[in-house]
Chain A
Amino acid sequence: MSSKDLLPNDGLSEIDQEFFCQAPPEYISPLPKPIEDFMNWARSESLFILAFGTGCGAIELRPLTTSRFDMYQYGIQMRATPRQSSVFIVGGYASVKTLKRIVRSYEQMQGPKFVVTLGSCPINGGMYWDSYNTINRIDHYLPIDISICGCMPRPESILAGFVELKKMIRAGQCDGANLYAKNFAWYKANQKRIIKDWNMPDYNW
Chain B
Amino acid sequence: MGPLGLKIIYTLITLVICGVYGLLLGAFMAKTMARVQGRIGIPLHQPFVDIIKNYGKRTAISHGIMFYLGPVFRLTGGIGTLVFIPVIFGSEYFSNFSVAGDLLLVMYFIFFGQLGMALGASEGGHPYSPIGIARGLAQMCAFEVPFALAIIAIAIQYNTFSITEIVAAQQGGILSWTFFTNPFAVVAALLAMLGMNMYPPFSIVLAPQEIPIGPPTEYHSAYLGMLQSNRAIFAAAKLVLFMNLFFGGATNFPVLVLKTWAIYMCSVLVGAAFPRFRPEETIRFFLRWPTVIGIVGLLFAKYYLI
Task: Give the B-binding residues of A (Cβ under 8 A).
Answer: 19, 21, 25, 28, 38-39, 42-43, 45-46, 51, 67, 70, 72-73, 75, 77-81, 83-84, 86, 110-112, 177, 204-205
Contact = CB atoms under 8 A, between A and B. Distances in A.
A70 B40 contact: yes
A43 B217 CA distance: 20
A72 B34 CA distance: 9
Interface of B: 30, 34, 37-43, 46, 49-50, 52-53, 56-61, 125-126, 128, 208-213, 216-221, 224
Given A70-B39, A73-B40, A75-B46, A110 B53 contact: no
Q: Which of A110, A111, A112 has its CB near the most chain B CB atoms (within 10 A)? A: A110
Nearest to B38: A67
Question: Which of B37, B46, B56 gathers most chain A CB within 10 Å?
Answer: B56
Contacts, number: 90
A78 B209 CA distance: 6
Nearest to A28: B58
Contacts of A51: 209
B53 A86 contact: yes
A42 B52 contact: yes
Contacts of A83: 217-220
B59 A111 contact: yes
Contact of B56 (A39, A78, A205): A39
A51 B49 CA distance: 20
Contacts of A84: 213, 216, 219-220, 224
A53 B301 CA distance: 56
25 contacts: A19-B125, A39-B53, A42-B53, A45-B53, A46-B46, A67-B37, A70-B39, A72-B30, A72-B39, A72-B41, A72-B42, A75-B42, A75-B46, A77-B209, A79-B213, A80-B210, A81-B218, A83-B217, A83-B218, A84-B213, A84-B224, A110-B57, A110-B58, A110-B59, A205-B61
A110 B209 contact: no
Given A67-B37, A72-B41, A80-B213, A112 B49 contact: no
A45 B45 CA distance: 10
A80 to B, nearest CB: 4
10 cross-chain pairs, A with B, having the tightest CB-CB distances, nearest first: A83-B220, A67-B38, A70-B39, A39-B56, A42-B52, A46-B53, A73-B40, A42-B53, A80-B213, A67-B39
B42 to A, nearest CB: 6
Interface centre among A25, A75, A81 (most CB of B within 10 A): A81
